[in-house]
Structure 1
Amino acid sequence: MNLRRLWAVVLKELRQMRRDRITLAMIVGIPVMQLVLFGYAINLNVRGLAAGIADQANTAGSRAAVMDLLATGVVAPVVETRTPDELVALLRRGEISVGIAVPPDFEQRKAQGREAVQVMVDGSDTSVQGAAAQLAQMPLDGSARLREAPLASTPPAAPIDVVAFYNPERRSAVNIVPGLIGVILTMTMVLFTGVSIVRERERGNMELLIATPLSRTELMVGKVLPFIAIGLVQTTVILALGLWLFTVPVRGSVLDVYLAAGLLILANLTLGLMISTKAQSQFQAMQMTFFVFLPSILLSGFMFPFAGMPQVVRWLAEVLPLTHFLRLIRGIMLRGAGLAEMWIDVAALLAFTAVMMGAAILRFHKRLD
Structure 2
Amino acid sequence: MNLRRLWAIMIKELRQLRRDCVTLAMIMGMPVLQLMLFGYAINLNLRHLPAAVVDQAQTSGSRAAVQDLLASGVIELRASAQSPQQLIDLLRQGRISVGIAVPPDFERRRMDGRESIQVMVDGSDNVVQAAAVQLAQYPLNQPDNFHAQTEQPISVVSFYNPERRSPVNIVPGLVGVILTMTMVLFTAVAIVRETERGNLELLITTPVSRTELMIGKVLPYAAIGLVQTSVVLLLGVWLFRVPIRGGLWDVYMASSLLILANLSLGLLISTRAKSQFQAMQMTFFVFLPSILLSGFMFPFDGMPRPAQWIAELLPLTHFMRLIRGIMLRGADMTDLLPDSLALAAFIVIMLTLAIRLFHKRLD
Shared fold per TM-score greater than 0.5:
yes
- Is contact 1:187-1:293 (8 Å) kept? yes
Is contact 2:112–2:149 with CA below 8 Å preserved after alignment?
no
Match of 1:259 among 238, 253, 263: 253
Tell me which residue corresponds to 1:37: 37
Contact 1:64–1:142 (8 Å) recurs in 2 = no
Cα shift readout 1:171-200 (whole Å, capped 9, x = no counterpart): 110000000000000000000000000000
2:346 is matched by which residue type in structure 1? Answer: F
Deviation at 1:80, TM superposition (A): 2.3
AA of the residue aligned to 1:273: L
Correspondence list, 1:129-168, <5 A: 129-141=129-141, 156-168=150-162
Task: Find the counterpart in structure 2 of residue 189 from structure 1.
Answer: 183
Q: How many residues align?
A: 359
Partner of 1:151: none
Deviating above 3 A after TM superposition, structure 1's stretches of 4 or more consecutive aligned residues are none
Residue in structure 2 matching 1:291, options 285, 290, 299: 285
What per-residue deviation string (whole Å, max 9, x for no partner) do you get for residues 2-34 of structure 1?
A: 111111111111111110111111110100000
Across the aligned residues of Structure 1 and Structure 2, the Cα RMSD in angstroms comes to 1.1
Among 299, 303, 328, which residue is 1:309 paired with?
303
Cα distance in structure 1, aligned partners of 2:60 and 2:156: 22
Give the TM-score, by structure 2 length. 0.97
Shift of 1:157: 4.2
Contact 1:194/1:285 (8 A) holds in 2: yes
Tell me whether 154-163 or 18-27 shows the greater mean CA deviation: 154-163
Q: Give the AA of the match of 1:60.
A: S
Change (3 A) 1:159 1:352: same
Matched, 1:201 2:219: no
| Matching residue of 1:102 | 102
User: Which stretch of the first structure deviates more once superposed, 249-258 or 78-87?
Assistant: 78-87
Aligned-pair CA distance for 1:82: 1.3
3-state SS of paired residue (2:157): strand
Quick one: which amino acid aligns to residue 291 of structure 1? F
CA–CA separation in structure 2 for the residues paired with 1:24 and 1:171: 43
Percent identity over the alignment is 70
One-letter identity of the residue aligned with 1:96: I
Q: Distance in 1 between matches of 2:360 and 2:282?
A: 22
Contact 1:68 1:142 in 2 (8 A): no
Q: Is the 1:139–1:159 Cα contact (8 Å) retained in structure 2?
A: no
Matches within 5 A, 1:260-275: 260-275=254-269
Alignment of 1:208-247 (within 5 A): 208-247=202-241
Question: Which amino acid is the alignment partner of residue 314 of structure 1?
Answer: Q
Q: Tell me what 2:26 maps to.
A: 26
Aligned equivalents of 1:302, 1:205: Cα separation in 2: 38
**For residue 342 of structure 1, what is the aligned residue in structure 2?**
336
Match of 2:3 in 1: 3
CA drift of 1:140 comes to 3.0
SS where residue 297 of structure 2 aligns? coil
**Would the aligned equivalents of 1:114 and 1:157 in 2 still touch at CA under 8 Å?**
no
Matched residue of 1:51: which SS? strand
